[in-house]
Homo-oligomer: A and B are copies of this chain.
Amino acid sequence: MTMLDRAQCAALDAKDPLAFARARFDVPEGLVYLDGNSLGALPRATADHLSAVVRNQWGQDLITGWNKHGWVDLPRRLGAKIARLTGADQDEVVVCDSTSLNVFKLLSAALALQPGRRVILSDTGNFPTDLYMAQGLADLLGRDHRLELVTPEAVAGRIGPDVAVVMLTEIDYRTGRRHDMAAINRLAKAAGVLTLWDLAHSAGALPVDLNGTGADFAIGCGYKYLNGGPGAPAFLFVAKRWLNETRQPLFGWFGHAAPFAFETAYQPKAGIDRFLVGTPPVLSMAALECGLATFDDIDLIEIRRKSLALGDLMIRLVAQECAGAGLTLASPTDGGQRGSQVSYAHDCGYAVMQALIARGVIGDFRAPNLMRFGFTPLYVRYQDIWEAVAILKAVLAGAEWRRPEFSQRAAVT
């Protein structure tokens, strides 16, 4: 294979059909940001929009903003935008609460549909909060429900008649390994098992086809590839066939059939709104609205094509530049098996990542030894990958990552 150089990477940017989209973001000059899978970059429109919502809508119109500015419709309006990104219909998605809470709601709904089955099946690579929520729910129910974890490869073989629901994150947050959503959904359906997909590392990063693959339930995150800002609200999907069949146990007034009738007995609203609980967080939702607008007129096929090209480039450049430097690729080399990130194991991964960050290459670290690099095709350039690998090479060749301050763990890593 021929050697690649910086000029060739620049040439890839010059012909990138998504290059224009970087102008939709304020990415700091000089920074190589490869952590959009943890917190998306700031869309250029967000600050002004949020300021207008605060000063004009809240400040001037106060309580009347709920109707006048459609605050009350935000959960559905944003849900409809996410529906396009995830292969859902507009009335199947709503934005609300956190991914953790949405796991609880949909897992409760799924278990209620499966009275004779006790197993919540997931894999050991799933994101911990999903597993914790399942444990909390099982404890609370106290009816012998149990969370069973198998390796990602063993999930398909474990789907069977005692399983109520299989709950998986499509893209593994550590390695980027991708589950075959269509295959799992097919197996599950044949076995009478419901599916609950966590799209935290999928929505906005690659085309998702919830309805086309027959998914039952899904949840996802607003602050990663959807660029909604730190702690942005999450979303949830319920397939139409279940919408009015299911209930979730968090009976809040925004899920009530007539919230402003102030009745004492709960009656769920028809459709997806019954999955709402409390008052929608308008300011956070306004920021997420700008995050979602960064996808306007963008073809997800283009996103996926560039995402894989960025990942392939990273893998090739690391092999070319950093051979023998102690890095082990932890992600699938086959793009079809991979999400929008590439991870490397390194014995001192935490310290190396801190040294990279100090040099302006932002990735992150996941225990026990993984350095993650995420690719957001809307704003990451091919040159950024060159730059990241050049700095990674320099860091690994030098001694700076051995400095004591780089091995001290911060609160959030």
Instruction: Enumerate chain A interface residues (CB-CB to B < 8 A).
Output: 26, 28, 31, 33, 35, 38-39, 41-42, 46-47, 50-51, 54-55, 58-60, 62-67, 71-72, 97-101, 104, 108, 124, 127-129, 131-133, 135-137, 139-143, 149, 174, 223, 229-234, 249-253, 256, 259-266, 277-285, 287, 357, 362, 364, 366-367, 409-413
**In the bound complex, do residue B47 and residue A250 qualify as a contact, i.e. CB atoms below 8 Å apart?**
no
How many identical chains are in the complex? 2
B39, B63, B101, B137: the one contacting A278 at CB < 8 Å is B101
**In the bound complex, do residue B133 and residue A412 qualify as a contact, i.e. CB atoms below 8 Å apart?**
no
Taking the nearest CB of chain B, how far is it from the CB of A112, in angstroms? 9
- A101–B230 CA distance with the chains assembled, in angstroms: 20
**In the bound complex, do residue B278 and residue A234 qualify as a contact, i.e. CB atoms below 8 Å apart?**
yes
> A54 contacts which chain B residues (CB < 8 A)?
42, 46-47, 50, 229, 287
In the complex where A67-B412, A250-B101 touch, is A128 in contact with B263 (Cβ < 8 A)? yes
User: Which of chain B's residues has its CB closest to A260's CB?
Assistant: B413
In the complex where A230-B71, A281-B281 touch, is A101 in contact with B252 (Cβ < 8 A)? yes
Q: A67-B412, A135-B266 are in contact. List 18 more A-B contacts (CB 8 A).
A: A26-B55, A28-B60, A28-B62, A46-B54, A51-B51, A64-B362, A71-B230, A98-B277, A101-B252, A128-B262, A136-B249, A140-B140, A141-B142, A230-B283, A231-B278, A231-B282, A232-B283, A260-B413
Taking the nearest CB of chain B, how far is it from the CB of A316, in angstroms? 26
> A409 contacts which chain B residues (CB < 8 A)?
260
- A287–B59 CA distance with the chains assembled, in angstroms: 13
User: Which of chain B's residues has its CB closest to A44's CB?
Assistant: B59
> A234 contacts which chain B residues (CB < 8 A)?
278
**In the bound complex, do residue A98 and residue B278 qualify as a contact, i.e. CB atoms below 8 Å apart?**
yes
> A279 contacts which chain B residues (CB < 8 A)?
98-99, 223, 230-231
Of A35, A55, A63, most buried by chain B (CB within 10 Å of CB) is A63
B140, B259, B266: the one contacting A249 at CB < 8 Å is B140
